[in-house]
């Protein structure tokens, strides 16, 4: 016997909840290990080498997102979409072709960055002065592979296999290796830290490939089906690519601009403040990892109330968590940042400003993933991208005059405007309210009162 609509919604939310708990456990561990990784690096390196590491890490992250060719988002939509339609062969080809695109794009972008580093070295202070740029090149493919590999496995319902290698194992290996080298009086340079990080991430990804084979997940590379895949899915993939590059730029370009326009040591301060502020979206991100394929599945099956239920659960759980973390930052922000060293406690005001922007992000819910999963990636890029890119242009003017504070204010204001704009658009054009107000769409409709004769 078919249950009531409310029973069906409850079942959907429960299914997402338990997977989200597993994802959250991993992400909480990830947050702690990430902090440990950066704290150990910060404590064992001087301000300038650590600033070079922060600069290189942020740059590699942006380039790696570009190298992913949007496939980390594409597979989250295409795999469940093809599975629902019974086209298993196309789902498998999407995985294989996605890997092919990641490898090809990583090779091309790595070669371009090598040329840029050579030019800067020959025209500037010599190749030694840009050693951290050459080291950054080594991090591009592992980061791109980590992004796509995780999405491939999450699209197939995996949580632990998708997240454990990169989010836990890698983040244990890096601080452990850095601390061991420190005990043996090996001083890490910015370039050395980037090389070590890249090598250990490659090891973690190797473990993920092995685990995927053991548990029989589809996670292979293939070039033969790439032309057909790109012919059918190329346009959507291009918009996924632009969207993910804009997202990554919004999270990392500030650090790069500060390093270029202020000082490398200042990039370390801003880097730590931004990474700390990012803890506010920990729960939101953890849940989104699970609900993205669920939203795609329910939307493409025409189950709009279920899609709304998943989205609303995501929004409220993420916002409440963010609110608690924001209160902690207000009270103990300087103490938290001092873990990186006394020099970094000065970033408290930057932390608070950035956190305000991320609080607005949490309140508007998983708008980005809803737009991406429902076929509105072009509109996402057009609205969110234009606002954030305008903010980055303003930062180029503001940072030389107002430094880190100016960068943080522009970032928070841009994020607030962009998130509100896409949340409004999604509610109007997709029919899913991604913000906290989505709960009103799930309330049972009141039965109409019968009118008396003659009324």
Q: Say what the pTM is.
A: 0.70
Question: Would you say 197 and 204 are in contact if contact means Cβ atoms under 8 Å apart?
Answer: no
- What is the distance between the alpha carbons of residues 161 and 19, in angstroms, rounded to a whole number? 13
Average pLDDT, the chain: 86
Cα separation, 9 vs 307, in Å, equals 9
Q: Is the CB of residue 407 less than 8 Å from the CB of residue 393?
A: no
Cα–Cα distances in angstroms (integers) from residue 412 to residues 106, 196, 224, 419, in the given order: 31, 33, 45, 11
The answer to whether residue 15 scores a pLDDT higher than 80 is no
Give me 19's structure tokens.
């997977």
Domain count, the chain: 1
pLDDT for the residue numbered 9 = 52
Predicted confidence (pLDDT) per residue in 231-254, tens digit = 999 988 888 888 888 887 777 788
Residue 232 belongs to domain spanning:
5-441
> Which pLDDT value is given to residue 298?
83
Residue 454 counted as domain residue: no
In this structure, is residue 344 part of a structural domain?
Answer: yes
Could you tell me which residue, 242 or 199, shows the higher pLDDT?
A: 199
Let me know if residue 205 belongs to a domain.
yes
Q: 144-195, pLDDT tens digit by residue?
A: 999 999 999 988 988 788 888 988 899 899 989 988 998 888 888 999 999 9
Token pair 């979206």: residue: 281
Chain-centroid distance, C-alpha 436: 21
For residue 455, the model assigns a pLDDT of 46
What is the per-residue pLDDT for 295? 85
Q: Tell me if 453 is assigned to some domain.
A: no
Is the pLDDT score of 448 beyond 60?
Answer: no
Q: Radius of gyration of the chain from Cα atoms?
A: 23
Q: What is the mean pLDDT of residues 205-219?
A: 93
Asked whether residue 169 is assigned to any structural domain, the reply reads yes
Q: 138-142, 312-316, 421-425: lowest mean pLDDT where?
A: 312-316
Q: Give the CA distances from residue 424 to residues 156, 373, 417, 435, in Å, rounded to whole numbers and listed in that order.
A: 31, 17, 11, 9
Instruction: Tell me whether residue 451 is in a domain.
Output: no
Q: What is the pLDDT of residues 19-72, one digit of tens each?
A: 556 666 776 677 778 778 888 888 888 888 988 998 899 899 989 989 999 899
How far apart, in whole angstroms, are the C-alpha atoms of residue 53 and residue 269? 12
């Amino acid at each position: 016997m078919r249950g009531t609509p409310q029973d069906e919604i409850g079942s959907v939310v429960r299914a997402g909840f338990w997977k989200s708990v597993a994802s959250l456990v991993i992400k909480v561990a990830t947050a702690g290990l990430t902090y440990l990784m950066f704290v150990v690096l910060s404590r064992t390196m001087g301000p300038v080498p650590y600033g070079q590491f922060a600069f290189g890490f942020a740059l590699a992250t942006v380039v790696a997102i570009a190298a992913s060719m949007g496939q980390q988002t594409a597979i989250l939509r295409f795999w469940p979409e093809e599975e629902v339609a019974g086209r298993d062969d196309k789902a498998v080809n999407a995985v294989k072709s996605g890997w092919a695109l990641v490898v090809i794009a990583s090779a091309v972008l790595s070669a371009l960055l090598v040329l840029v580093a050579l030019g800067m070295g020959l025209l500037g202070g010599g190749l030694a002065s840009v050693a951290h740029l050459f080291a950054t090149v080594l991090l591009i493919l592992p980061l791109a592979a980590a992004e796509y590999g995780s999405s491939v496995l999450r699209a197939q319902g995996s949580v632990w296999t998708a997240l454990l290698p990169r989010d836990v194992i890698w983040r244990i290996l890096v601080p452990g290796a850095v601390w061991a080298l420190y005990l043996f009086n090996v001083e890490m340079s910015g370039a050395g830290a980037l090389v070590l990080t890249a090598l250990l991430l490659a090891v973690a990804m190797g473990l993920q490939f092995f685990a995927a084979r053991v548990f029989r997940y589809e996670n292979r590379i293939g070039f033969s089906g790439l032309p057909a895949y790109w012919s059918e899915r190329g346009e959507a993939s291009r918009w996924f690519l632009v969207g993910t590059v804009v997202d990554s730029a919004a999270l990392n370009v500030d650090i790069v601009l500060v390093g270029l326009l202020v000082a490398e040591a200042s990039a370390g301060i801003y880097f730590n403040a931004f990474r700390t502020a990012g803890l506010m979206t920990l729960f939101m991100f953890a849940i989104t990892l699970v609900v993205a394929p669920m939203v795609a599945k329910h939307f493409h099956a025409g189950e709009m109330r279920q899609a709304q239920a998943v989205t609303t659960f995501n929004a409220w759980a993420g916002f409440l968590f963010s609110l608690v973390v924001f209160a902690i930052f207000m009270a103990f922000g300087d103490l938290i940042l001092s873990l990186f060293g006394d020099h970094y406690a000065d970033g408290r005001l930057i932390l608070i400003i950035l956190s305000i922007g991320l609080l607005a992000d949490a309140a508007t819910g998983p708008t980005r993933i809803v737009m991406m999963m429902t076929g509105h990636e072009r509109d996402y890029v057009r609205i969110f991208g234009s606002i954030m890119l305008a903010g980055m242009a303003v930062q180029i003017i503001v940072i030389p005059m107002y430094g880190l504070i100016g960068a943080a204010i522009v970032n928070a204001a841009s994020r607030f405007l962009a998130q509100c704009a896409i949340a409004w658009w999604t509610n109007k054009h997709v029919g899913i309210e991604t913000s906290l107000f989505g709960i009103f769409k799930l309330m049972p409709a009141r039965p109409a009162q019968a009118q008396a004769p003659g009324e």
